Structure formats: C-alpha cells, structure tokens
Amino acid sequence: MASIQELTDLGTALAAALGADVLDHSVSPTAELTLTVRRESVVRVLTHLRDAADALFEQLTDICGADYPTRPE
C-alpha cells in the first residue's frame, strides 16, 4: 500500500500531467487518492490513469457525481 506522501506526490504529478482536466486532488487520512476532474474530461483522465507509464492503474474503485439544480452549470 502506498503511503500518504507517495499518493500526494502522485496526485501532484497527475494534476501536472493532465493540466486543466484535474480541478483538485487530495489524499484522505486513510490513504485514498481523490481526483476531482472536469466532467467532459472523465474518459481522458481514466485513459491516462490506465495507460500512462507513471500511473498504470488496474482497477477503478469509485466514480461519483453531484447535481446542484439551483446552481448554474
């Protein structure tokens, strides 16, 4: 299992590699990396996570969305 520092470094590297596609990244106290991405970039980000030599993720654990109907898009 990766340490919190390793996941923080990975989140920073992914945000740099994906640029404006990544809106935010964080690591929980239980060592879970979360990336917040633009909705139109989900496929590009997931493809990068799977295929990029610095990532090579094998499993998608969760994907979430939120709807705020009173907010403008």
Among 66, 30, 35, 32, smallest CA distance to 48 is for: 35
Mean pLDDT of the chain: 93
Q: What value does the mean pLDDT take over residues 2-22?
A: 95
- Residue % of the chain over a pLDDT of 90: 78
Confidence of residue 41 (pLDDT cuts 50, 70, 90): very high
Please give the C-alpha separations between residue 21 and each of 1, 30, 36, in angstroms, as whole numbers: 26, 25, 9
The CA angle 53-57-58, to the nearest 5 degrees, is: 125
Whether the pLDDT of residue 2 is over 90: the answer is no
Q: Look at residue 1 in the predicted model and tell me its pLDDT.
A: 80
pTM: 0.83
